[in-house]
Amino acid sequence: MSTISSIRPHAVMTARFRTTRARTLALVAPLTPEDMMVQSSPEASPVKWHLAHTTWFFESFVLREFLAGYKLFHPDFAWLFNSYYQSFAAFPEKRLRASFSRPPIDQILRYRQHVEEGIDRLLESEADPEALRRIELGVNHEEQHQELLLTDTLNAFFSNPLRPAYLPESGETTGEPDTLCFVPYEGGLRQAGHNGEGFCFDNELPRHRVWLEPYALATRLVTCREFAEFIADGGYRRPELWLSAGWDAVQQNGWQAPLYWSADSSHDRTLFTLRGERSLRAMEGAPVSHVSYFEADAYARWAGHRLPTEFEWEAAAEDQPVEGNLLESGNLVPIPQFPLPFLNAVQKKAVEDPSAAQDPKSTRCSLWGDCWQWNSSAYLGYPGFKALPGSLGEYNGKFMSGQMILRGGSCVTPAAHIRATYRNFFSPETRWQFSGIRLAQ
Amino acid sequence: MSTISSIRPHAVMTARFRTTRARTLALVAPLTPEDMMVQSSPEASPVKWHLAHTTWFFESFVLREFLAGYKLFHPDFAWLFNSYYQSFAAFPEKRLRASFSRPPIDQILRYRQHVEEGIDRLLESEADPEALRRIELGVNHEEQHQELLLTDTLNAFFSNPLRPAYLPESGETTGEPDTLCFVPYEGGLRQAGHNGEGFCFDNELPRHRVWLEPYALATRLVTCREFAEFIADGGYRRPELWLSAGWDAVQQNGWQAPLYWSADSSHDRTLFTLRGERSLRAMEGAPVSHVSYFEADAYARWAGHRLPTEFEWEAAAEDQPVEGNLLESGNLVPIPQFPLPFLNAVQKKAVEDPSAAQDPKSTRCSLWGDCWQWNSSAYLGYPGFKALPGSLGEYNGKFMSGQMILRGGSCVTPAAHIRATYRNFFSPETRWQFSGIRLAQ
Amino acid sequence: MSTISSIRPHAVMTARFRTTRARTLALVAPLTPEDMMVQSSPEASPVKWHLAHTTWFFESFVLREFLAGYKLFHPDFAWLFNSYYQSFAAFPEKRLRASFSRPPIDQILRYRQHVEEGIDRLLESEADPEALRRIELGVNHEEQHQELLLTDTLNAFFSNPLRPAYLPESGETTGEPDTLCFVPYEGGLRQAGHNGEGFCFDNELPRHRVWLEPYALATRLVTCREFAEFIADGGYRRPELWLSAGWDAVQQNGWQAPLYWSADSSHDRTLFTLRGERSLRAMEGAPVSHVSYFEADAYARWAGHRLPTEFEWEAAAEDQPVEGNLLESGNLVPIPQFPLPFLNAVQKKAVEDPSAAQDPKSTRCSLWGDCWQWNSSAYLGYPGFKALPGSLGEYNGKFMSGQMILRGGSCVTPAAHIRATYRNFFSPETRWQFSGIRLAQ
Amino acid sequence: MSTISSIRPHAVMTARFRTTRARTLALVAPLTPEDMMVQSSPEASPVKWHLAHTTWFFESFVLREFLAGYKLFHPDFAWLFNSYYQSFAAFPEKRLRASFSRPPIDQILRYRQHVEEGIDRLLESEADPEALRRIELGVNHEEQHQELLLTDTLNAFFSNPLRPAYLPESGETTGEPDTLCFVPYEGGLRQAGHNGEGFCFDNELPRHRVWLEPYALATRLVTCREFAEFIADGGYRRPELWLSAGWDAVQQNGWQAPLYWSADSSHDRTLFTLRGERSLRAMEGAPVSHVSYFEADAYARWAGHRLPTEFEWEAAAEDQPVEGNLLESGNLVPIPQFPLPFLNAVQKKAVEDPSAAQDPKSTRCSLWGDCWQWNSSAYLGYPGFKALPGSLGEYNGKFMSGQMILRGGSCVTPAAHIRATYRNFFSPETRWQFSGIRLAQ
């Protein structure tokens, strides 16, 4: 969470709040009220619920406490759209969200407007710094749900046997990326975690020292073609490539390919995307997505490499601009990565001849976008970690068990939302996220 | 299934078809497209699916075969809206029906119209007698789904924590029914099953002889007040009252009252109905509904009685008009039953003084409506049972395992749909149906 | 349960008690204390438990009530070895029986002796007629557990990857039975249920009238060879042959053959028996065993026939002596059936030419032994059924839900234990019993 | 795994091998063959299986490869007693181990002798250094199973409703330990992992640098009395104290106390131990055992502290002798800990007045024995981790997912088996281990 020095002026916050709220509506524009009802897996939520819950967050943690005279839009919404804040209010079982045909979408949209007017009023006044911090948290929270609503829509449309597309097919180049190379990084005693300038979540704090041995990261993500070779080589049938729990998951779930790949293993194989069904051939050069940690780990073992730790990844990303195939680029589908243009002459040399002398600081590869990258680090609190006080302390801290770290954002992540210290986390079996593979060695 | 002698003239069939189709639309009028998306339990389906599937039935089993030049509305619908006819086409897993946001409801309504025009054209021509039989089957099939869509809507609205009402509260009398009495019936060698006049399902055939010992049936269904006494007497905590499988169900599901009763056991207990939440007090005189076979059986044992067999029930109902609180009465909620007005002087005497001499033929109680009545008969084929030929043979026959018979229709059953030989059937754990208790001895 | 007229003199009862108890010990002679610990499926119990529970039955229902001064062998045994009599005492969860390493087998054998001495003392005295009835019930109860302990041992040894044999291979003839024929039976108004002479269980009462249409029964059970043809014809892959619940069972359990058949579908297929692994070829002429009701029903549909009702079976068996491959024959494995020797000239003619005039009373086929025969009747109470009073009322009545009837006994059933009115019952998915297929039409 | 420099002379190895094998037999002396059959939870194995599997390890990884002319004791044992080495041979499902009544215990004992003679022969010869390394690994493997067989026996006897005791009650002092204090440790850049002298497992390597912030560890484990206060304060009913996955585990499993505590929450509460049922009162001063990671974590949060990381623990233990209530002390039950006697004057001062100046190197608390201590570190590979080559690579590496680290050994761990770098690991839900709570801050 941001420290006091990070509070932006009201005008900036107002703009950021409005832009974010407007983008959420823009993202659901292709969807019908019926589409917004679907909850196609236990991990997912209906889009309508996302629209309401992000609004509930501002109402519950900002307006109720900080806007004098604020009148709740509807008393039931205070618990109906609570996700998991046990200390705030009771909440319905997650699976029941699929039954929320009432309130209708029109009422949810009025709810959004009502709360937005409240935030506007608050921002026009001399708002409490804590209120501003909470609004900023709410904006970041809504950005997370922007990503989630797209992720959930992909799953919902995949569950529909008709396989509708969220957006029409686009004509972007597919191409074939360069050979995968590794860029070396020096280790040493490094700082990890957020430095306090600008917004961050509580789980990025405190900044602390970590010791890193020298390492190297792949210049780009593993592609669909490369992953298809793993499959063809019996990747899903060879227990020696898998963690024990991963092998159990393969057996129990019958995994034979990433999620959204057709069962057909022939050359006519297809992948389902937010732009509809695509042939694997057309996607060969794009990063493989929707793999679990177990699949990422097995692939790395098969390839003779490993996954990076979160600190290796963070140290490499620290001074790299957040650029890549993120939400703003409008693809909404992973596309082939061409890392070399990002490199200068020294870097190119390092990549082409790793043994050559090099200036490690200037050597880097593109680390952002397309797919979240599974790290070999478990999601745990940093030394001295303290959750936010009150109900907001449930935001992140209570999930520090049984999950693995992912870094780097995906093609459905807002660029403004992430940073080098940003920690995403999911259970190692998770596949419905845009999650892919960055190799390390 | 009807024999050839039962074919109604085209005009009659046309009227019956149109009336039925129109009523389906009338029943969904209070619902929004979002409401029609909800699938709140594995047993239930979204209302939108019911609208499409009933239409699919006419298209698949009538128009494709019997209307020359008929053009399918949409090629995917042929498998998308198949329920369980394995020999007809593949079909999606039932749970996926909740993901059918596309096709949108407007398209489903156009599908309905397209198919209705086809049936109209067919009925204007010299239709094959088999086509007429199939249309009649389709009408009966749609009536079953009228009941189901109301049953599923009740469940969907109960799953919504806001508990919306399908219809507004009505002001009907509640009242207290008469003391429960038993009307005696002679046994002997009786005929059971349909006699071939008019429509019937294949599972009502063939008509055959059964031997009945003398028996007696209660004049009315068990009321909510009576069932509340069973609860207060520890009914759900005394294993000796239950079948072994029933006691397991009580333990595993944590049953403490019928479905839709509030957990609160105080005098403020409520029941959820299609007309919203009602106090138990207001419903005390109405038949208890939404009990499983196991609860009906346990109640009967507690009360010192038993449930009737399907043949006892059928023999008693044979010459009784189908009248009662059925769909047409518009209540959509069980109401107190006053059986005596149905009885003549002789019958009244029999009820008031069971030991008095009586003419068994003229003694009867009201057997129809409010709630389906669990029978102590397993759902099995009659001697010489033959399923319909072809895919329609899957309609009833393949479910003859693990289910119990229910008779008599409920407040959401169309009166024209049922008859004395009509066999409904559900698994003994089922509670989402309007199912209640008729005692026998 | 027997009526008072059926009480045998004390001497007879003493002999029957001692013989039965001795046979139980003889049956476990090939087993080690370790063998007697295995509980290889939720349906099965360890043999040691069977030894103790049958003893508990006599102690709990006879000695405690009827033997003055009887001293319990061990106070804990009263609840430890209770199976499911809720009204008698608490009892451990069934799955815990596998943890009863203590009491050791030696103590169980002393428990048996202690109780046997008690029963002996009671039988030497002027015992209450009810005590005698209970002893007789206890003897019949123990006979049921003799069958169960063999059934459970087969399962236990099959679960052991080493596949030990209970008894050594024997050299009996295998042979090929005659072509399967059908013997016709007249229908009409018949009596079903026990007539009160000699012992019976409460579920065989009361004797009552049933109406039967004319029918025919196969002269022998379906053989392994015939069942292998069903498999070869895609029997397990064709949903149209199966009840819906049966097809679900096939899918969920991955059934591809009867239980204890090897997965290998080639000509080297083997069957596991109490005499170890045998080749299918050697067993081809023997009745197929260890099939569920669903498999029996699917086979019958495939063969163009059906399964008999329990009343059809009972009427046919009524005047037939209980002879066949039962426990006493010592095979403990189904063997080829040769029904014709049981028929006289008239019967043979009927079988060879079913259209010929015949005396139905004298026409019969061998109905006993080898495998229990699945009937198409659900296990329900007869009209006027009353469970025994007290805790013994839980013996049979509470299981009258979700189970199907089996008739005829098997190669592990004591001949003295069964009769024409005897009703065995199991869930339709059950396969660990010696259960086979008698066709009807 | 040990490096070559760690190979002990043959004589030492022979002694260690024989001692270890003899102790295994001594540990099972109180058990009957029937006791050795019980498998009371999916995590546990029958004792007989432990006896065979530890022997299989020597046969499979030592004798087959390194003893010329070695003859397998039984060809089936090669796969029958394989636990999970997929690349070595097929193996039976774990749950089937409960069905291994054959081979009988006598044969298993002969198997042990046969293999011991083989190892003796090998040790008398000029054995390959790799053979010696494998024998040493096998000895350590057997020590792990010594602990497991006691852990499993406790569970087996707890599952037996009679609750037999493994050993008779002993009369040890109960007493009340000192107030819990914290001993401070300096952080800094430390080495973690094994230094290569003597035996270690592959997961303790490579030794590598880690950065530690200053920290403090509690002088003793949390006691039963302290944990009872947590319970009395609503510990199991307050979601804010728990990780989200931990709260789910509480709800799903109905946890209300540590495993083996009686449900009764009154002052008569009992604990089940290897020495039978004991009153909680008698155990109040002893460390609480059989808690999951989730319970340890929730307790720490409730107490205002936290759990240590594995590197904090290891740095503190590095120069501390392995002394405490371990297997050799013969208690087999946690006993009250009195840490102060281990401290010298400087340490005592530090404990009594943490603000006082102190020499961190000399400040320490007793870290060994009684219960394994849950660490807040996930079980992952160290930087540069390499599993052993071949099938033995499956020993540790494939379990590096979803598990938490435990350190310190327990009252059933052989003292010679553990060291400061030793990493135990279990799923965070695990409770059947002797696992307790060391607080940190």
C99: nearest CB among D38, D100, D101: D38
Q: Which of residues 106-165 of B touch A (CB under 8 A)?
A: 156, 159-162, 164
| Three-state DSSP class for residue A217 | strand
pTM of the full predicted structure? 0.93
Tens-digit pLDDT profile for residues C145-170: 999 999 999 999 999 999 999 999 88
Closest residue in chain C to residue D103, using alpha carbons only: C162
Structural domains in chain A plus CATH codes: 10-159 (1.20.120), 182-436 (3.90.1580.10)
Residue in C with minimal Cα distance to B213: C383
Half-sphere exposure of A230 (CA within 13 A, CB side): 26
CB pairs under 8 A between A and D: 78
Confidence of residue A344 (pLDDT cuts 50, 70, 90): very low
> Quick one: pLDDT band at residue B268, thresholds 50, 70, 90?
confident
Instruction: Name the pLDDT band for B366 (thresholds 50, 70, 90).
Output: confident
D193/A contact by beta carbon, under 8 A: no
Name chain A's partners: 3 or more CB pairs within 8 A.
B, D
Query: A255 and A245 in contact (C-beta within 8 Å)?
Result: no
Higher pLDDT, A178 or D427: D427
Average pLDDT over all residues of chain B: 91
Q: Does C68 touch chain D (CB under 8 A)?
A: no
pLDDT digits (tens, 9 = 90+) for C303-333: 999 999 999 999 999 989 999 999 999 999 9
Q: Check CB contact under 8 Å for B160 and A98.
A: no
Interface membership of C188 toward B (CB under 8 Å): no
Q: Which residues pair with B325 in a beta bridge?
A: B369
Closest CA–CA distance from residue D325 to any residue of chain A (Å): 30
Condensed to tens digits (0 to 9), the pLDDT of residues B295-344 reads 999 999 999 999 999 999 999 999 899 999 999 999 999 998 875 444 54
Tell me which H or E stretch contains B63.
none
Which neighbouring-strand residues pair with B210? B190
Q: Is the pLDDT of residue B355 over 70?
A: no
Contact flag for A and D (3+ C-beta pairs < 8 Å): yes
> In whole angstroms, how far apart are CA D187 and each of D211, D214, D351?
7, 4, 18
Which of D51, D94, D38, D44 is closest to D430 using CA atoms? D44
Tens digit of each residue's pLDDT (9 = 90 or more) over B285-296: 999 999 999 999
Least confident stretch, A7-21, A259-273, C126-140, D348-362: D348-362
The answer to whether the CB atoms of D160 and C102 lie below 8 A apart is yes
Which of C401, C425, C426, C430 has the highest number of chain B CBs within 10 A, making it the mutation to test binding with B?
A: C401
Helix (H, G, I), strand (E, B) or coil at B189: strand
Tokens of C17: 């008690």
- Which burial class, exposed, middle or buried, applies to D238 when counting CB atoms under 10 A from its CB (0-12, 13-18, 19+)? middle
Phi-psi region of A215 (alpha: psi -120 to 50; beta: other; left: phi over 0): beta
Q: Does D354 touch chain A (CB under 8 A)?
A: no
State the Cα–Cα distance between residues D187 and A427, nearest whole angstrom: 31
**Of A263, A264, A265, A238, residue with least CA distance to A251:** A238
Torsion-angle region of C215 (φ positive above 0: left; ψ -120 to 50: alpha; else: beta) = beta
β-bridge pairing D270-273 and D215-218? unpaired
- The per-residue pLDDT for A89 is 85
Q: What angle do CA D57, D59, D62 make, to 5 degrees?
A: 85
Whole-angstrom Cα distance, residue A301 to residue D394?
14
Residues A230-258 pLDDT 10s: 999 999 999 999 999 999 999 999 999 99
Mean pLDDT of C32-36: 98
% of chain C beyond a pLDDT of 90:
83
Spell out which residues of chain B touch residue A156, defining contact as CB-CB under 8 Å.
Answer: 99, 101
- B380 and C CB contact within 8 Å: yes
D164 to chain C: which residues are within 8 Å by CB? 101-102
Q: Which two tokens stand for residue B112?
A: 């309905």
| A360 pLDDT higher than 60 | no
Using an 8 Å CB-CB cutoff, list chain B residues near C294: 401
Nearest residue on chain A to D395, alpha-carbon basis: A244
Q: According to the model, what pLDDT value does residue D87 have?
A: 87
Contact A294, A250 (CB under 8 A): yes
| Angle (nearest 5°) at CA B285 between B283 and B286 | 65
Name the nearest CA neighbour of B239 among B227, B251, B221. Answer: B251
Query: In angstroms, rounded to a whole number, what is the distance separating the alpha carbons of residues A206 and D18?
Result: 52
Lowest mean pLDDT among B230-234, B245-249, D5-9: D5-9
CB spacing of C244 vs B376 below 8 angstroms: no
- Report which residue type is found at D292: S
DSSP string, C376-399: EEE--PPTT--PPSGGGGGTTGGG
Look up residue A129 and give its amino acid: P
C99 vs D40: CB contact, 8 Å cut-off? yes
Query: Which amino acid, B31?
Result: L
Q: pLDDT at residue C189 above 50?
A: yes
In this prediction the ipTM stands at: 0.92
Give the residue from C82, C244, C247, C394 with the most B CB atoms within 10 Å of its CB, the best one to mutate. C244
At A227, the amino acid letter reads: F
How sure is the predictor about B354, in pLDDT bands with cuts at 50, 70 and 90?
A: low
CB contact under 8 A, B102 and A160: yes
For residue B208, give the nearest of C213, C376, C377 by CB distance. C213
CB within 8 Å of B310: residues ≥ 6 apart: B192, B375, B377, B405, B407, B423
Question: Tokens 């009369």 belong to which residue?
Answer: D171
The CA distances from residue A36 to A74, B125, D272, in Å, are 21, 44, 53
A238 CA: distance to closest CA in chain D (Å): 9
Neighbouring chains to D with at least 3 Cβ pairs closer than 8 Å: A, C
Residue A348 has a pLDDT of 56
Q: Along the 441 residues of chain D, how does pLDDT read in single tens digits?
A: 444 445 456 889 999 999 999 999 999 999 999 999 999 999 999 999 999 999 999 999 999 999 999 999 999 999 999 998 988 888 999 999 999 999 999 999 999 999 999 999 999 987 799 999 999 999 999 999 999 999 999 999 999 999 999 999 886 556 778 788 999 999 999 999 999 899 999 999 999 999 999 999 999 999 999 999 999 999 999 999 999 999 999 999 999 999 999 987 776 899 999 999 999 999 999 999 999 999 999 999 999 999 999 999 999 999 899 999 999 999 999 998 875 444 545 545 655 665 544 444 444 467 999 999 999 999 999 999 999 999 999 999 999 999 999 999 999 999 999 999 999 999 999 999 999 999 999
> ∠ at Cα C31 (C25, C36), nearest 5°?
90
Whether C90 and chain D come into contact, CB under 8 Å, resolves to no
Q: What is the mean pLDDT of residues C336-349?
A: 57
Which of D76, D92, D159 is nearest residue C99 as measured by Cβ atoms?
D159
Cα–Cα distance, D420 to D367 (Å, whole number):
9
> In which band, very low, low, confident or very high, does the pLDDT at B39 lie, cut at 50, 70 and 90?
very high
Q: Indicate the pLDDT class of residue A364, thresholds 50, 70 and 90.
A: very low
CB within 8 A of B117, min separation 6: which ones?
none
Question: Are chains A and C touching, using the cut-off of 8 Å on CB pairs and a minimum of 3 such pairs?
Answer: no
Q: Which chains border C (3 or more CB–CB pairs < 8 Å)?
A: B, D
Whether residue B243 and residue C400 make contact (CB cut-off 8 A), yes or no, is yes
The C-alpha atoms of residue A119 and residue A123 are separated, in whole angstroms, by 6
With beta carbons less than 8 A apart as the criterion, state whether C306 and C300 touch: yes
Which of A140-154, A265-279, C342-356 has the highest mean predicted lDDT (pLDDT)? A140-154
In Å, how far is B315's CA from the nearest CA of chain C? 16
B408 shares contact with chain A (CB less than 8 Å): no
**Arithmetic mean of pLDDT, C298-302:** 98
CB-based contact C189 B210, cutoff 8 Å: no
A375: closest CA of chain B, how far (Å)? 33
Following DSSP, what letter does each residue of D289-347 receive, concatenated? -S--HHHHHHHHHHTT-BPPPHHHHHHHHTTS---SB-GGG---S------GGG--HHH
Q: What is the mean pLDDT of chain A?
A: 91
State the DSSP H helix or E strand holding residue B366, giving kind and residue range, or none if neither: none
Cβ <8 Å between B35 and A101: yes
Confidence at residue A180, expressed as pLDDT on a 0 to 100 scale: 87
Q: Show residues of chain A in contact with D83, CB under 8 Å.
A: none
The pLDDT of residue B224 is 96
* pLDDT computed for residue C1 by the predictor: 41
- pLDDT at position A223 over 70: yes
Report the gap between the CA of C42 and the closest CA in chain B (Å). Answer: 15
- pLDDT greater at residue C34 or residue B337: C34
- For residue D352, give the nearest of D219, D222, D221 by alpha carbon: D219
Integer CA distances (angstroms), A320 to A297, A316, A326, A367, B130, in order: 25, 8, 15, 8, 74
Rounded to whole angstroms, the Cα distance separating B363 from B368 reads 16
Please check the confidence at residue A347 and state whether its pLDDT lies above 60. Answer: no
Q: Does D32 touch chain A (CB under 8 A)?
A: no
Give the per-residue pLDDT at A366: 79
DSSP string, A269-311: -EEEETTEEEEHHHHTTSBP-S--HHHHHHHHHHTT-BPPPHH
Question: Looking at B48-57, B379-388, D119-128, D165-174, which range is the least confident one?
Answer: D165-174
Confidence band, pLDDT 50/70/90 cuts, at residue A317: very high
Distance CA B250, CA B234 (A): 13
Q: What is the per-residue pLDDT across A33-71, written as a single tens digit (0 to 9) for each? A: 999 999 999 999 999 999 999 999 999 999 999 999 999
pLDDT band for position B111 (50/70/90)?
Answer: very high
Tell which of B244, B295, B375, B396 to mutate to test the C interface (max C CBs under 10 Å): B244
